[in-house]
Amino acid sequence: MARCDWGWNAHSRRATSGVTTPTLGARSAVRATTLLNNVLGIKFTRVTGAQFTADGLVCDVEPTTEIPRCGGCGRPVRKVYDQRKPRCWRHLDLAGMSLELRYSPRRLRCPRCGVTTEMVPWADPMSWFTHAFEETVGYLAQMTSKTVVSTMMRVAWATVGAIISRVVERRLPRDILDGLTHIGIDELSYRKHHKYVTIVVDHVTGRVVWAREGKNADTLRAFFQELGSERCALIQAVTIDMSKAYISAVSESATNAQIIFDRFHVQRLVHDALDEVRRAEVRTIEDPEDRSALKHTRFALQKNPWNLTAIEQAKLTELPKTNATLYRAYLLKESFAAILDRRQPNVVLAKLEEWMSWATHSGLKPFAKAARTIGHHLDGIVAYVASGLSNARSEGTNGKVRTITRRSYGLHGASSLIALIHLCCSGLSLQPVHTWPRFHQT
């Protein structure tokens, strides 16, 4: 039996057991470093030694490129300033065993950046994880729950957030804002509705193309600034809610764009008016039983009629007899939805004017107020009917974004949430590591 020449370095215990493989002849011996080179298959990286520690395996590695590259600008720099102490990068586990790469990076005197630490081919400058590890975390975070990601990769969820930010930074297409013509702008609340993120969705692809913390006009102005005047001029339609901040930011920057008010937000105005009427009615009822019955009609009143359960349907059938005021409010809400379902803009305009007159004279103050707001935004509401565009059209994306918000508990800050949104909703295609082309072929 041929004895393999395991090339452990000076720190390691010497392997003495005889190992043969069917592909190796009696005379061929494989060094551990060669074997590990093939196993790891990291581009421009060679393994120079290996050592078992209490935690697993540590591989000593070095870049194969002769001239080191600056960690700041990526240029080759010949002037070496000094060498740092060895540091480790976490790599993918090897057969369930933790695996780290160890290297002493050089510090370089870059003519452009000053003294910087060299760039290594297996990781980003500020990361303690290899690219392969980070991409695997990204792939899993796209596919599965946070518990699975943390457990499988043995990293804290907060660390996953930082890793995802780097993956997104590397993978998000630089031209993601090119060629936008129809966009939807929406706010997303997180941290129990105390904080907001503004999200821009491309209606054509259904992808999130931009996201930033905040929900005021300046937040949105930052998007248009990033877009630049040429790309702003290409935008033909923007769906937004009726907030003054968004309206002013869109009308000053995207001058060619038609503003379309998002149907969901327009209808919510009327839903809120209905709920206000219901609460006022509840307060006027003295009999506790009747009051309780009315209190529990909230969801029945807000739902679309075809989604009602038999119990809710029964409650609403009683409504004209039990509370005529609330029934009037309910009819106003239902007829408003029916108007927006129509497809002829001129008919919708006429019907909306009729509706506003009815609401104003209904004796229901919340509806009179809603009618005034709708009157001020009539063009954008009718534009919805003409174009059929609404943020709900990207409902798949919206639903996904809301799920992501729930997953983001435990991540640090808005930047991690935004990275997670981009990771899952911007069309990034991450592949598991075994599908990658390898530098060393065995």
Sites of contact with Zn ion (CB under 5 A): 70, 72-73, 110, 112-113
Which of 326, 380, 311 minimizes the C-alpha distance to 352? 380
Q: Where are the alpha helices (DSSP H) in 254-344?
A: 263-284, 288-295, 298-302, 310-322, 324-341
The minimum distance between CB 111 and Zn ion, in angstroms, equals: 7
The minimum distance between CB 119 and Zn ion, in angstroms, equals: 9
Please, which residue, 110 or 180, has the CB nearer to Zn ion? 110
The minimum distance between CB 125 and Zn ion, in angstroms, equals: 11
The answer to whether 78 and 97 have CB atoms below 8 angstroms apart is no
Please, which residue, 110 or 356, has the CB nearer to Zn ion? 110
**Maximum CA pair distance of the chain?**
100
The minimum distance between CB 215 and Zn ion, in angstroms, equals: 38
Please, which residue, 73 or 148, has the CB nearer to Zn ion? 73
Q: First and final CA of the chain: distance in angstroms?
A: 22
Q: How far apart are CA 227 and CA 349, in angstroms?
A: 34
The answer to whether 189 and 214 have CB atoms below 8 angstroms apart is no
Query: Following CA atoms 400, 404, 407, 408 in sequence, which dihedral angle do they give, to the nearest 10 degrees?
Result: 180
Residue 9 Ramachandran class (φ > 0 left, ψ -120 to 50 alpha, else beta)? beta
Please, which residue, 120 or 185, has the CB nearer to Zn ion? 120
Number of H helices, E strands in the chain: 16, 13
Please, which residue, 110 or 301, has the CB nearer to Zn ion? 110
What are the backbone angles phi and psi of residue 89, rounded to the nearest 5°? -120, 135
Q: How far apart are CA 79 and CA 107, in angstroms?
A: 9
The minimum distance between CB 3 and Zn ion, in angstroms, equals: 48
Please, which residue, 72 or 427, has the CB nearer to Zn ion? 72
The minimum distance between CB 66 and Zn ion, in angstroms, equals: 18
Question: What SS3 state is found at 240?
Answer: strand
Please, which residue, 73 or 152, has the CB nearer to Zn ion? 73
Question: What SS3 state is found at 29?
Answer: coil
Please, which residue, 61 or 110, has the CB nearer to Zn ion? 110
Q: How far apart are CA 1 and CA 3, in angstroms?
A: 6
The minimum distance between CB 85 and Zn ion, in angstroms, equals: 22
Please, which residue, 112 or 376, has the CB nearer to Zn ion? 112
The minimum distance between CB 178 and Zn ion, in angstroms, equals: 28
The minimum distance between CB 77 and Zn ion, in angstroms, equals: 7
The minimum distance between CB 72 and Zn ion, in angstroms, equals: 4
The answer to whether 256 and 279 have CB atoms below 8 angstroms apart is no
The answer to whether 15 and 32 have CB atoms below 8 angstroms apart is yes
Strands 97-103 vs 56-63: parallel, antiparallel or unpaired: parallel
The minimum distance between CB 116 and Zn ion, in angstroms, equals: 6
Structure tokens given for 245:
């901040």
Q: How far apart are CA 368 and CA 374, in angstroms?
A: 10
Which single residue is written with the structure tokens 């792939």?
139
Please, which residue, 8 or 81, has the CB nearer to Zn ion? 81
User: Using N-to-C axis directions, what is the helix angle for 244-253 and 217-233, rounded to 10°?
Assistant: 30
Please, which residue, 106 or 263, has the CB nearer to Zn ion? 106
